[in-house]
Each structure stands twice: as C-alpha cells, then as structure tokens.
Amino acid sequence: MGSTLVNYTLGRLMSTAQKNKRKPYMWAGVFLNIGTLFLFKYFNFFNKSAAGVLGTLNIHQDIPMFELLLPVGISFYTFQSLGYIIDVYNDKVPAERKLHIFALFTAFFPPLLSGPINRASDLMPQFRQPRAFDYQNVTQGLRLILWGLVKKMVIADHLAVYVNHVYNHVGDYQGIALIIATLFYTVQIYCDFSGYTDMARGSAQVLGYDLMENFRHPYFSRSLHEFWQRWHISLSTWFRDYVYVPLGGNRVTIWRWRYNIFITFLISGLWHGANWTFVVWGALHGFILILENATRHFQRRLADRLFTGKASRLNQGIQVVITMSMISFAWIFFRANSVSDAFTIIRKMFLIGIDGFGLKQAGITVVGIPQFISLLFMIVSLFGVEMWERRGWVQELVGNLPLTVRWAIYTVAFWSVLISGVFGVKQEFIYFQF
Amino acid sequence: MNGTLFIIKLVIFGVLNLFILTLLLYGFSGRHRDIHLSYAESESNLLVIGENEHYPVVFLGTSRGRVLSRDGNHEMVERILGRKVANLSKGGGGGLMPMDVHLSFFLNQGNTADHVVYLVDPFIFYSSINNEHNDFFLRDEPFELFIFLKLIKERYPLDRLSSYLQMIKVTDWQKISRYAAPGLTEGTLKKIDEEKMEKAKKHYLKKYDQNNFVAYGHVVDDINRLVKTHGATITYVMLPLFMPDFPGLPEVDAFLRKTADREAGVFYINCASCMQDKKFYYDHMHFNKTGIEYFLKTYIRPIL
C-alpha cells in the first residue's frame, strides 16, 4: 500500500510539474523503489558479503542484520511501479488520476507474485474500460490455466523430486546423474515459471484482461540473443528499456556496448535473488552474449562452409542444441545451493563413467525406473506440444477441434493434474522467491 | 447468450467429470483387501489390520506410539500386555484429526476394542501440521471410499484429498510402506543434548498457534463419542517428555484432566515427568525396547 501511494503521488506530482522540474520526482521514485527492494531483499546479503570481505582483512565490524519478512512478489511489483514512474517522466504514459486504477495496476492479482511485469501503457487503459462476459476470453483463459497447471503440477513438480535430491546431495553423485539433474532442471524451471505465467495470463483473460506474453518457446532458440527474446520477455524487455538503453545501448563504442550488456545481465542476475549464485548466473549470460556477438561473423562463415542446401536445417538443429547446452550450463549456478556447490557440480559432472553407469549412479533409484521413464515421456510430450505450438497458437488449434476431441483433451489434462499432480506446500513456484 | 452457453457447457463438463470421479472412487476403493502385511513389513494400518476382529487394546499416537510396533516390538507388546493389540499410531501423522480418521475406519470395518489408549504429545492439540495439513497419515494407506468421504466431511484441504486420491495409482504396497530399520529401538540415548532437544522442539512446533493450545480439542469429543458408541473406554496418556517446559503442556494437561473428570469412560494419565532416565530412550523422544517394556508394565498394564 505504501509503495502504491508513494508511486501514485509521485506520478501525479510529475504530471503537474513543468517538464524541466520533473527530474527530482523521477529520481525520488527510483530511489524509493530501489531502496525498498534493497532494504527487504539485499541489505542482509550485502551486509554479510561486506563483513566477509572485512573479515579477510582482519577488520571485524558487526553490522546488525534486518529480520524482515520478504514481501512476496516484491521484485515484480517494484519493477512494474518503477517502469511506470520512468514512463511518466518520459511522457510515454500519462500519470494516472484515479488512485484505484493505479492501485489495481500495482496489485492486480494474477501477475502480482511472479509476473509478467506489465507496462502501464498496456494495462492501465484496459482497467479504464468496462468489462463484459466474453465467451472466447473465458474459454481461452481457462485453457491457459489448465495448461499452466499441467506444466507446473504434473511436469515441473515431478522433475523437482529428482533435481532436488541430486542437487541437495552433490557429494553423493557425479557424472551422468549431475548431467541428468541439470537437464531436468532446465525443463523444470521452464515448466514451473511458464506454468505460473500461463495461469496468471489465463486468470486475467477470464476477467477480460490481456497480460503480456512472457515465453515464446525459449528452448528452440538458436542463439543466446534469441533466447533472451523468448525467455521471461517482460523482464528482459524491462531491462532493455530501463537499464540497457539508458546506459547507451548499442549506440556507443564496441567496448562500451559490451560493458552495457554485461552490466545489464549482472543486475538481472542480482534481481533474481540476494545470492552470489544468481550474480554469477547473470554474469555468465552477459559474458556468453558478448562472446556470441564477437564471434558472430566467424560462426556465419563456418556455417556457410559446412552446411549448404538441405544441411542448413542440420545447422539450425546444432545451433539449438548448442544454445540449450549453454543455457543448461548456466542454470547450474541458478539452482545450486552455493557457488562452491556449482563448481563442485561442474567438476564432477564430467567424471562420466568413473563410478559406472548403473541405475544407482544415475540417481534413477531416487524416483524409480517407471517414474523416470514417465519423466522422460513428459519431457518429450512437452517439447512435442511446443513444436506443435510453433506452427500456430495451440489455443486456436485446440479451439478449432471438434467438441468431443476438445473435451477429451480437457478431461485428460484435468485428471492428470488431479491424479498425477504434486500437491502440498513443498513445491512452491521457483519464482515466488524473487 | 454467451454466458448461458458457457454455464450449460460448464455444468455438462462438471457432471461428466463427477461421473468419472464416481467410477474411479468405486472402482478403486478397497482393492487392497486381499493384501495382508505384518507390522514388520509395513506401517500401513489398512494393510496390516483386517476386518471383523476383536482387539482388547488399540493404541493411537504419533511415532512415539508407533515404536511399540516397529523393529519387531509388536509381539513383545502383546506378550507384556497379554492381549491382542492393534496399533493405529502413525509416524509423523498421529495428530487428533488423523487418528480420528484411522479409528473411524478401524471400527467401521467391524473391528471392536475394549480399551483405546491414546499416547498423547502436546503438539497434536495445536499444530495444523499434525492435523488437517498432515502429509503423512495416509501416505502409505490404500484408497478407501469411507476414508475419502470422511476427509471431505471433516473439511480436509483439497491437497490432502488429492494426495489421498492419488493412492489409486499405487500397486507395489510393500515398496511404498514405511518401516523402521531393524535394531532401531535397541540403542540407548548416550547423553541429553540441549541443542538437539531445541531442534526437536522446533521441528514439532512447526506451524503451531501458541494462542490456542487446545485448538483441536473438539476432535477429542469426536473420538470419545466414537469410542463410547462402540462400547469401549479410552485413556489419554501424556507421554514422558525431557522438556518440562514444552509449549502447551499445562494447557493440554488441564484440558484432558477436565475432559476425563467430566465424561464417563474417559481416563487420563499424565506421564510427562515420568521416565526421565535416558536408558529408556534411543533418542530424545522415542522409547527403546527397555523403555517400551517399562512403560507398558508400569503405566499401561495396570489400567487395562
């Protein structure tokens, strides 16, 4: 409520102030929003890190830690409000006059906990329009919710059992088990997060509101650059518009450009959580992206020489596999309990074969053979649906099927959630922590 | 028009799925009844305890009651008490609401009892994680329509209903059944470690509401009514605790004392400060074989 009132007031003050006198309000908004986020989410992290650095220099300074409960979804609604303040300052959106509309923009329940981070220019006009029951919106929304539930409760939560076991017992596994766990996590985080997004977008659509698309088959990307145009789109475009572009974007010297990319990803990593694992994950993405840009011409020349005619499809496939491998590798830092755990995983995951290829060594005994096979089946099915979706929007494809087939699909999906879904408090959404 | 069409379709879809649910419930309920496992093989009540049997003694409780049947102790317990015993206690799931469900099913199966002994821990009276949010009390139990309907009647949360419904998928009961490692109750607690006790206390006090120490007291009335309707008596026994300052202990003690004074056929013994010697335990909470023997001979046999 405090955040809503402050941002609303600053927006109003900017709208009434002359253009050249708005800056203090904008900066006040930036500092207050970032300050709140820092206080709740990062103060203890930086405090602990500083104490660690000082400790190595034999300086022992006790700075008290804050025992604050992290408000759920703070990173999402703070960024949404911050975007609004900057947009008002830049005259991209008018300051909202009605407090209840602005409050709804900040606290609209579907995206509140894990996004998408919506833009004021997209969402606010929708809140001003009267809404009526719309059959298409409601059915499409419900379909999205159901698909989101399947992704989260049937796929992600079952993969989590294997992933959590292996990643929480890093010392007990090596080689194939760590590789499988990392690949499973790659799928788990996608299903977990995009599942939430589908449910959020679906809930909003049932009510007649459109939230921005957040995922567009990210694991079919042929480069990291493309991946970031398809993964967590609302966050990556937010960072593009409010961090990368103000830093100068690509209209600067090449080294400055690379610096801009790196800084943007470093901040993006930190946004995900107050832990060095996320910072390293962000830095790794920044570094790979710079490397990708620097070697782009070389890659193209190599591809032209090696793959011609029909072989270009093979080239595309190889690019997808390489990109996914890089992304999976970076996820190790994102998922590991600590940076040292991440390095242990990387060191041990290439020790393939040293301790054998048995079921126990592969960690398959953790879930059992039938469950492991069903996990593989679920992953294959997921990518099958994703490929189908790439041909056209699945919503429309399913919507155009005969009623009996459509209902059969809904019934199977509904019962698979009920019979195979993981229920309980143990499997919260990964992005709830951010 | 759009709205009406949607509601009509929704109702038809709902009825269709209700029909599927009914088929599932009737089709899968009680499919385990030809499987009979022993206390050494499983901690599942439904797979171990049959139907239409008479048990002079029935135990209810948490893992602290379950140890009476773990590690080959069940035969010893029956020998000491000189009676056939049914132990419905569940490790991690012996709260009042879960025990109400298990006892209801036990009696509904035509089983009878003379004495029901509830081995009480204070936290079962105020922690939702030991009651409606408990994740363990049906984890290794086959699907039974009676239990499913009881869960609905007692307003268990949807995730409990769903996870119980998922038991219809289980085929290998021996694999899913929990059982303790052999020799578990043969060890002896070496020293009383305050740090470990605090850790245990924290574990048992998850999600508790200290403002309402007898929040689940009303379930005691349901259990008492159930027991008395079936012609048995019930004794609540507050189990020994190394932690005399355990939160809620005085409140729960007062509540049970008052209930026993008020109701015929309901008895209460407070053993919270009994058996304070570590030779009776294998860890800070659970009896070892020596402890079980002493506890039964000293406190349980005399009341039967």
Residue range B73-126, pLDDT digits in tens: 999 999 999 999 999 999 888 899 999 999 999 999 999 999 999 999 988 998
A424 conformational bin, left if phi > 0, alpha if psi -120 to 50, beta if neither: left
Residue B177 has which token pair? 């059944």
Question: Which residues are bridge partners to B86 per DSSP?
Answer: B58
How far is Cα B78 from Cα A349, in angstroms, rounded to an integer?
Answer: 53
CB atoms within 10 A of CB A276: 18
How far is Cα B95 from Cα B208, in angstroms, rounded to an integer?
Answer: 13
Residue B133 has which token pair? 């949010």
Contact A167, A335 (CB under 8 A): yes
Contact A298, A277 (CB under 8 A): no
Q: Which residue has the tokens 């997004």?
A: A197
- The DSSP 8-state label assigned to residue B287 in this structure reads B
Kindly list the residues from chain B whose CB atom is less than 8 angstroms away from the CB atom of residue A424: 135, 159, 163
ipTM value:
0.70
CB atoms within 10 A of CB A105: 23
How far is Cα A139 from Cα A129, in angstroms, rounded to an integer?
Answer: 21
For chain B, which residues lie within 8 Å of any Cβ of chain A, measuring from their own Cβ? 2-3, 5-6, 13, 16-17, 20, 133, 135, 158-160, 162-163, 165-166, 168-169
Cβ contact, residue pair A424, B2, below 8 Å: no
Contact A197, A430 (CB under 8 A): no
Residue A434 has which token pair? 């951010």
Cβ contact, residue pair A411, B2, below 8 Å: no
Nearest CA of chain B to the CA of A41: how many Å?
24
How far is Cα A143 from Cα A385, in angstroms, rounded to an integer?
Answer: 14
Residue A186 has which token pair? 């790659």
Position with higher pLDDT, B207 vs A9: A9
* Chain length of chain A: 434
How far is Cα B94 from Cα B88, in angstroms, rounded to an integer?
Answer: 9
Please identify every residue of A annotated as catalytic: 272
**What burial class does residue A336 get, using C-beta atoms within 10 Å of its C-beta: 0-12 exposed, 13-18 middle, 19+ buried?**
buried
Nearest to A262 by CA among A290, A237, A234, A239: A290
Confidence (pLDDT) at A421: 84
Confidence (pLDDT) at B209: 67
Quick one: average pLDDT of B246-264?
92
pLDDT tens for chain A, 434 residues long, are: 888 999 999 999 998 888 788 889 899 999 999 999 888 887 877 788 777 777 777 777 677 777 777 787 888 889 999 999 999 999 999 999 999 999 999 999 998 888 799 999 999 999 999 888 999 899 999 999 999 999 999 999 999 989 998 999 888 887 788 899 999 999 999 999 999 999 999 999 999 999 999 999 999 999 999 999 999 999 999 999 999 999 998 889 999 999 999 999 999 999 888 889 999 999 999 999 999 999 888 888 887 777 776 667 788 889 999 999 999 999 999 999 999 999 999 988 877 655 555 556 666 777 778 888 989 999 999 999 888 887 766 777 788 889 899 999 999 999 888 888 887 655 555 555 55
**Concatenated DSSP letters of A338-352:** SHHHHHHHHHHHT-T
Q: Which residues are CB-contacts of B172 (< 8 A; sequence separation ≥ 6)?
A: none
Nearest CA of chain B to the CA of A138: how many Å?
9
Residue A189 has which token pair? 């985080």
- The DSSP 8-state label assigned to residue B127 in this structure reads B
Nearest CA of chain A to the CA of B158: how many Å?
9
Contact B140, B170 (CB under 8 A): no
The C-alpha angle with vertex B83 and arms to B81 and B87, in degrees rounded to 5, equals 85
How far is Cα B139 from Cα B120, in angstroms, rounded to an integer?
Answer: 21
Nearest-Cα residue of chain A relative to residue B15: A411
Nearest to B68 by CA among B44, B85, B51, B92: B85
Contact A95, A11 (CB under 8 A): yes
Residue A430 has which token pair? 């990964």
Report pLDDT digits (tens) over B138-164.
888 999 999 999 999 999 998 889 889
Measure CB to CB from residue A407 to each of B2, B13, B169 and give the nearest one: B13
Torsion on CA atoms B22, B27, B30, B35, rounded to nearest 10: -160
- Strand, helix or coil for residue A368: coil
- Strand, helix or coil for residue B113: strand
Confidence (pLDDT) at A311: 65
Confidence (pLDDT) at A358: 55
Nearest CA of chain A to the CA of B173: how many Å?
14
Contact A308, A301 (CB under 8 A): no
Measure CB to CB from residue B163 to each of A134, A407, A424 and give the nearest one: A424
Q: Per residue in B145-160, is it b (16+ CB within 10 Å) or e — as a string?
A: eebbebbeebebeeeb
Cβ contact, residue pair B166, A420, below 8 Å: yes
**Concatenated DSSP letters of A19-65:** GGG-HHHHHHHHHHHHHHHIIIIIHHHHHHHHHHHHHHTT----PPP
| Ordered strands of the B266-270 beta sheet | B85-87, B54-61, B112-120, B233-238, B266-270
pLDDT band for position B223 (cuts 50, 70, 90): very high
Report pLDDT digits (tens) over A286-327.
999 999 999 888 888 887 777 776 667 788 889 999 999 999
pLDDT band for position B41 (cuts 50, 70, 90): confident
How far is Cα A126 from Cα B80, in angstroms, rounded to an integer?
Answer: 75
Q: Which residues are CB-contacts of B254 (< 8 A; sequence separation ≥ 6)?
A: none
Contact B227, B265 (CB under 8 A): yes
Confidence (pLDDT) at B196: 80
CA A266 and chain centroid, separation = 15
CA distances from A210 to A110, A144, B178, B281 (A): 11, 12, 48, 61
What DSSP element (H or E) covers A147? helix A135-149
How far is Cα B267 from Cα B228, in angstroms, rounded to an integer?
Answer: 12
Quick one: average pLDDT of B197-206?
74
Kindly list the residues from chain A whose CB atom is less than 8 angstroms away from the CB atom of residue B167: none
Measure CB to CB from residue B159 to each of A415, A420, A424 and give the nearest one: A424
Contact A165, A366 (CB under 8 A): yes
**Concatenated DSSP letters of A158-175:** HHHHHHHHHHHTGGG--T
